[in-house]
């Protein structure tokens, strides 16, 4: 993998971010496989994270059914819909701590597209 291409919605500028790996796992039950060897804090086949989806290893984030944190509702698939954006926003802050993180919503893309098209 050469990197991940990230597009700024406001300028359409493309940036390639060099990363070691991005893992997206889909399934009905967590199977950490080789991730168990990464030195992460794990309990009952779940990766322990904080409220920002940061694992016990700096720079590694996780979200979805594979994570555990205080107050998480077990087995609620909808939780991943909030955990994913929380992780992405914290990763952005981790990679560029001097830049303000401005979370966006799915409806923002339509607004930004209208601005670019002059609507």
Please say whether the beta carbons of 83 and 64 come within 8 A: yes
DSSP 14: E
pLDDT value, residue 100: 82
pLDDT value, residue 108: 63
Residue of 5, 8, 26, 24 lying closest to 16 (CA atoms): 5
Average pLDDT over residues 110-116: 53
Q: Residue 107 and residue 3: Cα distance in Å, rounded?
A: 27
Assess whether pLDDT exceeds 90 at residue 78: no
Average pLDDT over residues 76-102: 83
- Render pLDDT for 5-57 as a digit per residue (tens, 0 to 9): 877 778 888 888 788 777 766 665 667 888 899 999 999 889 999 988 999 99
Find how far residue 26's CA is from the centre of its chain: 15
pLDDT value, residue 47: 93
DSSP 54: B
Q: Give the residue, 115 or 60, on which the prediction is more confident.
A: 60
- Render pLDDT for 92-101 as a digit per residue (tens, 0 to 9): 889 888 888 7
**Main-chain dihedrals φ then ψ at residue 33, nearest 5 degrees:** 50, -130
Token couple for 29: 């039950």
User: pTM here?
Assistant: 0.65
């Amino acid at each position: 993998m050469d990197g991940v291409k990230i597009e700024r919605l406001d300028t359409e500028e493309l940036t390639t971010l060099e990363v070691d790996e991005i893992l997206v796992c889909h399934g009905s039950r967590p199977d950490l496989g080789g991730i168990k060897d990464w030195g992460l804090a794990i309990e009952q086949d779940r990766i322990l994270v904080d409220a920002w989806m940061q694992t016990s290893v700096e720079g590694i984030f996780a979200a979805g059914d594979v994570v555990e944190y205080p107050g998480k509702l077990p087995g609620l698939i909808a939780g991943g819909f909030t955990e994913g954006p929380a992780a992405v926003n914290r990763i952005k802050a981790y990679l560029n701590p001097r830049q303000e993180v401005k979370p966006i919503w799915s409806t923002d893309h339509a607004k930004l597209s209208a601005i670019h098209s002059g609507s």
